[in-house]
Amino acid sequence: MTFPQIIQGGMGVAVSGWQLALSVSKRGQIGVVSGTALDLVITRRLQLGDPGGHLRRALAAFPNQDIANYVADRYFIEGGKAPDKPYKSKPIIDHNPRRRAQELLVVSNFVEVFLAKEGHDGLVGINYLHKIQTPTMPSIYGAILAGVDIIIVGAGIPLEIPGIIDRLVQHEPVEMKLHVKTTEGTRIDRITFDPKLIFEESRPPEKRPSFFPIVSSATLATLMVKKCDGGVNGLIIEGPTAGGHNAPPRGRPNLNEIGEPIYGPRDDIDLDSIGSHGIPFFLAGSYGSPDGLVRARAAGAAGIQVGTLFAFCEESGLRPDLKHETIAKCKAGTASVFTDPIASPTGFPFKVLSMAGTASEEDVYESRSRVCDLSYLREAFEKEDGTIGWRCSADDEKMYVRNRGKFEDTVGRKCLCNGLMANIGMGQLRKNNVEEVPLLTCGDGVSSILKIIKPGESTYSSSDVIDFLLNGSESSMTARATAHQATS
């Protein structure tokens, strides 16, 4: 199968929502919705009154109306919740999930993909983080029911996913490994999901979406291709300058003078080896320019995956004030991105854009009480009696230690779940009406957004990004960026 040259990268939480993916797919490129925490996003959007009625339109198309109606009845608030009221919680998924938690995941993933695919024939992908294990199977099933074209999985080694996709398109029960931390290391348990939960009656098979893992080395690419036995249809090769989480450097971690991980020659990716598999591959991480696309194609790639340029465009889910502030910082030449080696409870380096009033500032973040109430990045651990418990290193330190964690693992950790929800204008309200603060991420090359913004304008669309990548001339666009900086 041949694919378009540009993948708009999946950006959580809901930065690449259905509106962005829809706009990119309509232009004939690959639009990708983020599949992270969609159950939370959909329940909060419903509590905000579902402006435009889009969610309710998608819910009406879900093939089990009892479940769709339950979700709408439980979370939708006509006209939106009162601004001084916190969001209602939704079930948290663990190794032994409640039926309602699984249903909500299936429905939410269906809704997001349904909306991104509405009214065109373009390709739509969905992006999951392999580190987040428990929601994965019901989420993939929901996306498949909505006809998703590509399932993209990063942040881990998703060897089991192609087999899971193969079974879910047939509506067959699936299982996957759950990594449980023990005092000695890790033990493997299994988690399961059965589509019979959603449909008791038998159903015809669904279309099998393509599967693209995101990897950061030729060794991992080879492992995925060989072990997945035909199940890998494309590869995304992501380097350490990309927005979001990054793979840690190979070997013993060393930090530079400001505390960022140092990447070296061992992290260079052998593209000849990647190309030798004969599978289309896309390069990600600072490839968002006409020149980047040409370089990628010259190296044998089918195209590029771009995140940062799309993150700040009009159709992205980021709060408009955060987009404006970022663009203003780029114009002023003060945009600064820090690769934080410890902020993310996943243990992967995470890029943080410095901005006043956000969790990038230590004093702002420190004023927040440590609490884990969204729990996507929790890890499973073995309790003293051998059963499974859950803990997050960004939670209250005492709680983490009580759950057999080490205090030192809590130091410098930040609650990404609540920060990322605040990024999209859905931050939880805490005591005294204090709202959770944003935690912005983007790639090292964020200032390139100035190359896209037309003279005299201060915003840009996803179409502008695509025109820039496909037809832009590097020299005139660089001149445009310089002019923006000179007039700021």
Site residues for ligand FMN per CB under 6 A: 9-12, 15, 34, 36, 127, 129, 154, 214, 238, 241-244, 284-286, 288, 305-308, 311, 441-443, 445
Q: Which is nearer to ligand FMN, 9 or 17 (CB)?
A: 9
> Quick one: residue 313, left, alpha or beta (phi over 0 = left, psi -120 to 50 = alpha)?
beta
- How long, in residues, is the chain? 488
State the nearest-atom distance from the C-beta of 246 to ligand FMN, in Å. 9
* DSSP reduced 3-state for 350: strand
Tokens of 106: 């299936």
Q: Which secondary structure element, helix H or strand E, spans residue 210, and what is its range?
A: strand 210-215
CA distances from 357 to 17, 313, 366, 419 (A): 24, 22, 12, 12
State the nearest-atom distance from the C-beta of 104 to ligand FMN, in Å. 20
CA distance 139 to 193: 10
State the nearest-atom distance from the C-beta of 11 to ligand FMN, in Å. 3
Q: Which is nearer to ligand FMN, 34 or 102 (CB)?
A: 34
CA distance 171 to 175: 13
**Where does 134-239 have alpha helices with state H?**
136-145, 161-168, 218-227
Q: Which is nearer to ligand FMN, 198 or 422 (CB)?
A: 422
Q: Which is nearer to ligand FMN, 286 or 358 (CB)?
A: 286
Q: Which is nearer to ligand FMN, 46 or 129 (CB)?
A: 129
State the nearest-atom distance from the C-beta of 243 to ligand FMN, in Å. 3
State the nearest-atom distance from the C-beta of 307 to ligand FMN, in Å. 2
> Quick one: residue 213, left, alpha or beta (phi over 0 = left, psi -120 to 50 = alpha)?
beta
State the nearest-atom distance from the C-beta of 155 to ligand FMN, in Å. 6
Q: Which residue is nearest to ligand FMN (CB)?
A: 307
Q: Which is nearer to ligand FMN, 12 or 142 (CB)?
A: 12
Tokens of 298: 């010259």
Q: Which amino acid is located at 145 in the chain? A: L
